[in-house]
Structure 1
Amino acid sequence: MKLKTTLFGNVYQFKDVKEVLAKANELRSGDVLAGVAAASSQERVAAKQVLSEMTVADIRNNPVIAYEDDCVTRLIQDDVNETAYNQIKNWSISETA
């Protein structure tokens, strides 16, 4: 999974899916207060670019909250239709739109 991109002459590296999702999100005061917002519009665009290139499998295999720690994550993972998932797991997020 690629967590790095070059944009506007700058290299942007993200540590995990959680950081990409947080920084790709539109600016919200709560995210700023929590320290998870992108530092700039450029970083936000870079995070969106990285997110768009991730696959459905990347998102499923790297949950924001671990399966063992969260009942919602367990419910989602346990109820995935594996036949349908196997047909789309290699699609990029941009291809799902």
Structure 2
Amino acid sequence: MPTEAVLPESELRARVQERIKEGRLPVQFITLINGGFGGGQTCTVCDKPVTRDKVEYDVVDPRNANQLIFHFACYVIWQRECARRIRAGDSER
């Protein structure tokens, strides 16, 4: 099951920052993750489908219980950005 990024890391990081600013992604560590083969749904970060040959991470947005869908690499970049902001005391949404 491939886990490589679908876009360059710098572009994914910029998209994560934009989605946090827009309120589409929370700044929070996620403790419950469902993972498996992609189901074709759109990734919350890169807006590309998570196809069956990719790893899909599903999490519940703790703010509103909406489902968030990620490619593995997109999820990792989002959580790194959350860690950076939490360490800096910046939870800007």
For normalisation by structure 1, the TM-score amounts to 0.36
Structure with the higher helix share, 1 or 2: 1
Q: Compare relative contact order (CA 8 Å, sep 6+) and give the higher one, 1 or 2.
A: 2
Structure with the higher strand share, 1 or 2: 2
For normalisation by structure 2, the TM-score amounts to 0.37
